[in-house]
């Protein structure tokens, strides 16, 4: 395990070299956050009672989503890994006494956590001090807060395990942009990153909530704002564990298969 911690550490320190990128990210997330909140404000302005989430919960949802975007964006992959596969640099990674799946898993997780930590603080702080219904409020109680933290970690795991499938597919297709586009759009929408899942029509919502995508940002954010609580929260967490395990097992299987067939490119 210590070795994965080391992989985590080196990826982390590589990411935090880039301060300008972090600043640009913060600015973008602020812009997006305000944009979304204003758009929803317009929709809500007629009659607030007809919506599945009170507006104040929605504001918190959006700010958290923007603050932790780097943890959950499905269209983000570790460039180093994709390049290693298509350029053949993977030769080096395969000549190490290390499980490649574990290594890449922790490397991607570190990449996301480092980005999120660099960007979240200013967004969270400012969002706390915004006026009235636009602000980010604290969770109602300790249970929700704890549930949020656990679910946040599990959600990150699900996102990374899902990304691992894309890495593995890159062994077969080489250019991963096409796959990205398809999976990223699908996953992004179904994870509630464009429109939160409670706003989906109920039939589609019921199916969407069972899919692995709902175990990404949907659950932790809704637990935080208090939209999911009690036994629903427990069920959600169990489902998250289930998806995390399934994706990891499946990912390991196909990676083992890919590695026996691997061709290393470029001399």
Partner 1 sequence: MIEVSNLTKSFRVSTREAGFKNAVRALIKRKYEYIQALSGISFRIADGEMVGYIGPNGAGKSTTIKIMCGILTPDSGECEICGRIPWKERTRHVRDIGVVFGQRSQLWWDVPVIDSFELLRDIYKVEHSAYRKTLDELTQLLNLNRLLKTPTRNLSLGQRMRCEIAASLIHSPKVLFLDEPTIGLDAVSKIAVREFIKERNRNSGTTVILTTHDMQDIEALTERILLIGRGRILLDGNMRELKQRFSRHKKIAVAYAGSLSSDMLSNCDGITVREEKMGRALIVLDSNLLTVSEVIEMLSKTVDIKDISVEGVTAEEMVVELYKAYRI
- When the beta carbons of 153 and 259 are compared against partner 1, the nearer one is 259
Minimum distance between the CB of residue 168 and partner 1, rounded to whole angstroms? Answer: 17
Minimum distance between the CB of residue 5 and partner 1, rounded to whole angstroms? Answer: 8
Count, residues in the chain: 267
- When the beta carbons of 89 and 137 are compared against partner 1, the nearer one is 89
What is 167-190 written as a DSSP string? HHHHHHHS--HHHHHHHHHHHHHH
The span from the CA of 51 to the CA of 146, in Å, is: 27
- When the beta carbons of 45 and 95 are compared against partner 1, the nearer one is 95
Minimum distance between the CB of residue 115 and partner 1, rounded to whole angstroms? Answer: 14
- When the beta carbons of 87 and 175 are compared against partner 1, the nearer one is 87
- When the beta carbons of 6 and 246 are compared against partner 1, the nearer one is 6
The span from the CA of 74 to the CA of 162, in Å, is: 8
Minimum distance between the CB of residue 10 and partner 1, rounded to whole angstroms? Answer: 5
- When the beta carbons of 7 and 159 are compared against partner 1, the nearer one is 7
Minimum distance between the CB of residue 98 and partner 1, rounded to whole angstroms? Answer: 5
Residue position matching structure tokens 């796959």: 179
Minimum distance between the CB of residue 170 and partner 1, rounded to whole angstroms? Answer: 17
In the complex, the residues that contact partner 1 under the rule CB under 8 A are: 2-3, 6-7, 9-10, 13-14, 17, 87-89, 91-92, 94-99, 260, 262-264, 266-267
């Amino acid at each position: 395990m210590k070795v994965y911690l080391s992989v985590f550490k080196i990826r982390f320190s590589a990411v935090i070299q880039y301060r300008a990128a972090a600043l640009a990210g913060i600015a973008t997330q602020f812009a997006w956050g305000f944009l979304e909140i204003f758009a929803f404000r317009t929709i809500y302005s007629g009659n607030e009672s007809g919506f599945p989430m009170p507006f104040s919960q929605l504001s918190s949802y959006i700010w958290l989503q923007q603050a932790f975007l780097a943890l959950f964006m499905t269209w983000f992959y570790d460039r180093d890994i994709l390049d290693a596969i298509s350029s053949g640099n993977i030769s080096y990674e395969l000549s190490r006494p290390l499980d490649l799946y574990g290594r890449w898993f922790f490397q991607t997780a570190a990449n996301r956590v480092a980005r999120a930590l660099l960007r979240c603080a200013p967004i969270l702080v400012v969002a706390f001090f915004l006026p009235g219904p636009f602000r980010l409020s604290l969770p109602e109680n300790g249970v929700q807060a704890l549930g949020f933290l656990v679910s946040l970690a599990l959600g990150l795991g699900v996102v990374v395990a899902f990304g691992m499938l894309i890495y593995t597919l890159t062994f077969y297709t080489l250019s991963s942009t096409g796959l990205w586009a398809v999976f990223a759009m699908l996953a992004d929408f179904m994870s509630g990153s464009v429109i939160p899942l409670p706003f989906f029509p109920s039939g589609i919502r019921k199916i969407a909530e069972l899919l692995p995508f709902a175990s990404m940002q949907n659950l932790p954010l809704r637990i935080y704002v208090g939209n999911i609580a009690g036994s629903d929260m427990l069920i959600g967490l169990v489902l998250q564990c289930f998806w995390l395990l399934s994706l990891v097992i499946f990912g390991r299987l196909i990676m083992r298969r890919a590695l026996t067939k691997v061709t290393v490119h470029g001399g």
